[in-house]
Structure 1
Amino acid sequence: MLFTPFSDFLQKLGQYGSHWTVLALILGFACAHSGLAYLRPWGESRLGSRLYRIFFALVSLSLAPLLLIYFFNHRYDGVILWDLQAVPGIRTTVALLSALSFFFLYPATFNLLEIAAIRKPEIHLFETGIIRITRHPQMVGQVIWCVAHTLWIGSSFMVVTSLGLIAYHLFAVWHGDHRLERKYGQAFRDLKARTSVIPGLAILQKRQQLRPQEFFRWAYLGVFSFVLILYAFHPQMVSAASRVAW
């Protein structure tokens, strides 16, 4: 009986260990993803834009599943801070917020041929569609995703994961602006003055005008289809992750 409290302590410590592990995984992905993005001019000058893009994609696609699998398997670790899953309407709210997050995470879908290195990958200055709402839609999409999943899961592990992901994407806001200014100079500074990071702020301040016709693109249909597929196969994804002993 004397060892029972100590055993409980070790069990709790083991649960909280996953919090540090997921932060380490996020940090590793952040260093690889943002680091390779920063080194893009140097890498392209030596490997060529297509080969460097393939290398960049392979690194990101190798690290992302590790983070996703670990998240699925440990999402309820630590302390359950709240449990709202029985609250009427919460499931629909979480599903809608999650779907909305992917419409902010869309930009890569506009250049699939460049993503696949079929067409020569380039860095673009966008100022249409969702960029009029926010200059960094991927950051906004990630925040929405984190809010939705934190509401649903309510564990300390989920809170730590969300804080880590949001912190990285806030850094990516600065990092992305820095890289674009380094490449485009005054042209980016002019775009920056006409757009905002906070969603809708530039529109409210009359620095930007929303044009609904710009949202009628095939890419948005692709995002909508992806969201439906992801929703349909989400239980299978969680089940598949559970078979990985990690």
Structure 2
Amino acid sequence: MMSFAWLTSSHFIILGLLLGFAIAHSGLAALRQWGEKMIGPRAYRILFASVSLPLAVATIVYFFNHRYDGLQLWQVQGVPGVQPLVWLLSAVSFVFLYPATFNLLEIAAIEKPQVHLYESGIIRVTRHPQMVGQIIWCVAHTLWIGTTFTLFTSIGLILHHLFGVWHGDRRLLSRYGEAFAAVKARTSAIPFLAIVQGRQTLQWQEFIRPAYLGVGVFVLLLWYCHPLLIQATARVNW
């Protein structure tokens, strides 16, 4: 008889945290047009961040503290080449997770936040870079840690971002109509598919931007500070 002693409560708690974040994040995104009319774009961006960021931080801290919970499905941390592969995949994931099309001043509500219809840079590779980046990050960390808890977390994150593909396209179609339909026809959610099919061309000069240098610096800082981050979250008794 199969034992499920490995299925600790933390598996369900992380799924609950992910679900709560997904509802708050996607729900507030869906209400953006209405909310901006009611309180203005800057105030709504601050409200969005005030709700989303604490939920995201709580989820990240819980993940760090319980990442080795459950059943150890595999152990490859001592296999030569695995650690460099994990770091390489993680670095690539951040290129997709934080593409240069994002305006950091708008994210911080310093400039008036707006909805943009982009079709340059990383968007030529995939219309949903955050989804692709999240999947790459999940693959890398699940490979490295190899526990059922990490696998559950990765499945939850990927499902949320796949929902985000549908949800994001639906919101942009509602806002831009035929203009977004034309962009959608020239791009693809699956990386490089539109390029392979001849619907899109890659313009390498669009990647020569300070924002991508910033991503590189961020990855190096994260690599350096990663042990400190693990130590800091371990002090949170949760």
* TM-score category (smaller protein): over 0.9
* 1:231 alignment partner, SS class: helix
> 2: CA distance between counterparts of 1:207 and 1:217?
24
Please report the RMSD computed on the Cα atoms of aligned residues, expressed in angstroms. Answer: 1.3
Instruction: Tell me if structure 1 keeps the 8 A contact 2:97–2:129.
Output: yes
1:136 aligns with 2:146: no
Residue in structure 2 matched with residue 97 of structure 1 by the alignment? 89
Q: Distance in 2 between matches of 1:198 and 1:110?
A: 20
Task: Specify the alignment match of 1:159 in structure 2.
Answer: 151
Query: Counterpart in 2 of 1:6?
Result: none
Counterpart of 1:221 in structure 2 is: 213
How far did residue 154 of structure 1 move?
Answer: 0.3
Aligned length: 236
Unaligned runs of 5+ in 1: 1-8
Partner residue in 1 for 2:188: 196
Amino acid aligned to 2:189: V
CA deviation after TM superposition for structure 1 residue 108, in Å = 7.1
1:41: how far off?
0.7
Superposition TM-score, scaled by structure 2 size = 0.97
Equivalent residue letter for 2:164: A
Cα deviations across residues 90-116 of structure 1 (Å, max 9, x unaligned)? 000000000100000113773011111
Percent identity (aligned): 64
Please show how residues 226-241 of structure 1 align to structure 2 within 5 Å.
226-241=218-233
Amino acid at match of 1:234: H
Q: Is the 8 A contact 1:108 1:115 kept in 2?
A: no
Which has the higher Rg, Structure 1 or Structure 2? Answer: 1
Secondary structure of the residue that 1:76 maps to in structure 2?
coil
Contact 2:95 2:133 in 1 (8 A): yes
With normalisation by structure 1, the TM-score equals: 0.93
Equivalent residue of 2:110, what SS? coil
How far apart are residue 32 of structure 1 and its match?
0.5
User: Aligned equivalents of 2:101 and 2:134: distance in 1?
Assistant: 16
Paired letter, 2:214: G
Which residue among 124, 137, 142 is the counterpart of 1:150? 142
The equivalent residue for 1:79 is: 71
Q: Which amino acid aligns with 1:219?
A: A
Show the 5 A alignment for 1:1-246: 12=5, 16-107=8-99, 110-246=102-238
What is the rounded CA distance, in whole Å, between the counterparts of 1:136 and 1:49 in structure 2?
A: 23
Deviations 1:115-142 (A, max 9, x none): 1111111000010011000000000000
**Does the 8 Å CA contact 1:18/1:77 hold for their aligned counterparts?**
yes
